Amino acid sequence: MQNERSRTRRTLYTEPNITLKRCSTLNPATLLPDLPTSGEPLHNCETLVSMAEKPRDNLLDTPLDNADLILFTDGSSFMRDGIRYTGAAVVSEFATEWSASLPSNISAQGAELIALKQACIIAKDKKATIYTDSRYAFGICHSVGMLWLQRRFLTSAGKSIANAEIINEVLSALKLPKALAVVHCSAHTGGSDPVSRGNDRADAIAKLAAIEGPGLILTLRTTDNLNLSLSYNEKEVEKWKQKFKAKQINGVWVSSEGKPLLPRSFYNQICQSIHKNGHFGTQGIVDSVKRVWIAPGITTIASKVCSACPIGQAYNQHAYRGKAFGGRPLAYTPFEHLQIDFITMPKAGRYKFCLVIVDQLTRWLEAFLTTRATADFVAKILLKEIIPRFGLPARIDSNRGSHFTDSVLNQIYSCLGITPKFHVPYHPQSSGQVERMNKELKTMIGKLCTETHLKWPEILPLALFYLRSRPRGDLHISPFEMLFGHPPIQAKPFSPAYTSLLGGDITIASYIQELQHKLRELHESGAAVQAGPLDFSLHDLNPGDKVYIKNFKRTGATQPSWEGPFQILLTTPTSIKIGERDSWIHCSHVKKASSAETD
């Protein structure tokens, strides 16, 4: 006994409140009945352990002497360019029996188990030796698999173990072969023996399957059995003979290259099966079929199968190709139509926001600092800055932010006769002028701040001056010149003979007349380059049609990208209206529901 323990015992014995007594309680083990003494064992321990460990009594861990099949399995999971690829394969020494790309959430151990399960399916009712380089898969077969089954695949904490469903499937598949040996082999040995070559080949095929994508999994391993399910049309066979030089082998029509031809009557069935297993898109289905079969014209069937799937309609992307953009009513005088928006800037002192106002005709830019983006500030700027300086606008465009739709602004618009136009949600192109000017203003402020080392509120007036005096790309004249009739005064006093558009007239009367004439020409040029309202529709949607609406408020990646289907109530050339939404919806945020789904 150690000294430390002896000291502890002595301390306990000398405590005055501790009393030592003999226990008089009977030992329960003395009540057990006497065992028979005949000498015969009650059970065979090896047999019981074998039954508890293995799903079948004749499952070996050494190769069979008279095996009908010798298979090699492998699974692979790896990252490439930030994307996880997972695949599995079953091969013989000279042929690939099965390979497939697997979902990226399956681990390498899970892929090994799936390959082992497929190998057992291939070896059904046959004698087979299956090699695997996975200690995990080998242990599932020979030791821990049945223990997990008895414990219902639960840990001590009551949680499900990893790959529980796949393990259960493997334990069931192990019973399919007539005789079976699952043998562990070393991986990546580089040897030239048949086992090393087979293992290396299984590893290479598994990695290739993971990269190339999902293939069509055939449960029928040879073409000898395909004629049991395939039926051929005589006219179709004649076309195959002319186009592919087809010939019949073991009841299956194959091309001159030996690839089987799929009858058109099976197109829909096989496309439905592939799409159901993994919700593949049109190209994924086509590639899966063509990897195994020759199937001319299957793209059309695959597209119809995908478009009829309601789950795919809710998640798939929608291509909005090359359609013309709509426009606004033309402005013919400066500050007749305005676009307004708030931009957020880095906080400098008290200021964090900036109200940007752009004139539609001249593209004259105004910007005002503020600490908060509110409707009261917008009303203040309109009443104290814009209207007193430039007159009453006929129309003001903005997004649907609360600082533009507040009742304060609506009352001002109503009293002054201004028409507010609010753009459809989630479509910044509707505010194209002010959004583009926001970017240019931020860029100019950034350049000047870097050059002068001043804060952006101090540099804002200079940035506005440069943007107002910069020639436009479409007319090659500046907003300043379109508004005032002459370039901005910069280096020297104004001289009409050299710096204005007036051609040298120096008398006041001639100057005014020529100024009006030039301004009229400039305004007409500005009106000509504006994009007016469309006289045709951007879409083919009609009231009563069922559509899906783009979901911009997804809270997780698993939520669908599209909501619906909804029924259209009203349409315009660029937007639609449904009963479930208060606002109009731009046609680029809509896709038509398939006819198969709405029927």
Please name the residue ranges forming H helices in 354-393.
375-381, 387-390
Is 31 among the domain residues?
A: no
Task: Map tokens 């050299």 to a residue.
Answer: 498
Each of the 599 residues of the chain gets a pLDDT tens digit; together they read 668 888 888 887 788 888 877 777 777 877 777 666 656 666 777 777 766 778 888 889 999 998 889 999 999 998 877 788 889 999 887 778 888 888 888 899 999 999 999 999 999 999 999 999 999 999 999 888 888 888 888 888 888 898 899 999 999 999 999 999 999 999 888 888 889 988 988 988 888 888 764 433 333 333 333 333 566 778 888 888 888 888 887 667 888 877 788 888 888 888 887 777 666 778 878 887 887 788 888 998 888 888 787 777 666 666 555 555 556 677 788 888 898 999 989 999 999 999 999 998 888 999 999 999 999 999 999 999 999 999 999 999 888 888 888 888 989 999 999 988 887 666 656 667 788 888 889 888 988 888 888 999 999 999 999 888 888 777 777 888 888 877 776 654 444 444 444 444 445 556 556 666 777 776 677 666 566 666 667 778 888 888 888 887 777 666 777 888 888 888 887 788 888 888 888 888 888 887 655 55
Q: Which residues lie closer than 8 Å to 476 by C-beta, 6 or more apart?
A: none
Same domain, 412 and 393: yes
Is 400 among the domain residues?
A: yes
Is 43 among the domain residues?
A: no
Domain boundary among 212, 231, 250: 212
Is 357 among the domain residues?
A: yes
Query: Cα(508)–Cα(513) distance, rounded to whole angstroms?
Result: 9
Same domain, 158 and 282: no
Same domain, 241 and 202: no
Quickly list DSSP for 536-596.
Answer: S-S----TT-EEEEE----SSTTS-SEEEEEEEEEE-SSEEEETT-SS-EEGGGEEEPPHH
DSSP structural state of residue 95: S
Query: Does a cis peptide bond (omega within 30 degrees of 0) precede residue 103?
Result: no
Q: Which residues lie closer than 8 Å to 499 by C-beta, 6 or more apart?
A: 486, 487, 489
Is 172 among the domain residues?
A: yes
Query: Cα(291)–Cα(309) distance, rounded to whole angstroms?
Result: 23
Is 231 among the domain residues?
A: yes
Query: Cα(154)–Cα(158) distance, rounded to whole angstroms?
Result: 5
pLDDT value of residue 122: 92
| Tally of structural domains, the chain | 3
Task: Map tokens 């009829």 to a residue.
Answer: 308
179 CB-contact burial (10 Å; exposed 0-12 / middle 13-18 / buried 19+): middle
Please name the residue ranges forming H helices in 78-193.
108-122, 135-139, 145-150, 164-173
Tokens of 232: 């051929």
Same domain, 384 and 236: no
Residue 292's CATH number = 1.10.340.70
β 575-578/585-586 pair status: antiparallel
Same domain, 292 and 343: no
Same domain, 350 and 241: no
> pLDDT tens, 425-474?
666 566 677 888 888 898 889 888 888 889 999 999 999 998 888 887 77
Tokens of 176: 């399919």
pLDDT value of residue 219: 33
Across-strand partners of 591? 548
Same domain, 263 and 148: no
Quickly list DSSP for 266-285.
Answer: GHHHHHHHHHHHH---HHHH
Helices (H) and strands (E) in the chain, counts: 22, 18
Same domain, 127 and 236: no
Residue 166's CATH number = 3.30.420.10
Query: Cα(506)–Cα(484) distance, rounded to whole angstroms?
Result: 17
Same domain, 283 and 429: no
pLDDT value of residue 215: 38
Cβ-count burial 288-321 (b if 16+ within 10 Å, e if not) = bbbeebbbeebbebbbebbbbbeebbbebeeeee
Cα 554 from chain centroid?
12
Same domain, 424 and 492: yes
pLDDT value of residue 502: 43
Same domain, 266 and 171: no
**231, 265 in Cβ contact below 8 A?**
yes
Q: In what order do the strands lie in the sheet with 365-370?
A: 365-370, 351-359, 337-348, 395-398, 419-422
Amino acid at 223: T
pLDDT value of residue 45: 76
Across-strand partners of 79? 84
**141, 194 in Cβ contact below 8 A?**
no
Please name the residue ranges forming H helices in 3-134.
3-13, 45-53, 108-122
pLDDT value of residue 548: 87
Q: Which residues lie closer than 8 Å to 74 by C-beta, 6 or more apart?
A: 88, 89, 112, 115, 132, 133, 134, 199, 202, 203, 205, 206
pLDDT value of residue 569: 86
Please name the residue ranges forming H helices in 65-192.
108-122, 135-139, 145-150, 164-173
Tokens of 432: 């194209």
Q: In what order do the strands lie in the sheet with 585-586?
A: 585-586, 575-578, 562-571, 546-550, 590-592
Is 588 among the domain residues?
A: no
- CA distances to 84, 101, 299, 418, 545 from 136, rounded to whole Å, are 21, 20, 41, 75, 55
pLDDT value of residue 152: 87
Query: Cα(542)–Cα(546) distance, rounded to whole angstroms?
Result: 9
* Tally of CB atoms within 10 A around 343: 18
Query: Cα(206)–Cα(163) distance, rounded to whole angstroms?
Result: 19
pLDDT value of residue 228: 34
Instruction: State the residue range of the domain holding 242.
Output: 223-307
Is 392 among the domain residues?
A: yes
* Alpha-carbon torsion angle 547, 553, 556, 559, nearest 10: -10
Tell me how long the chain is: 599
Same domain, 192 and 273: no
**153, 164 in Cβ contact below 8 A?**
yes
DSSP structural state of residue 228: G
pLDDT value of residue 504: 47
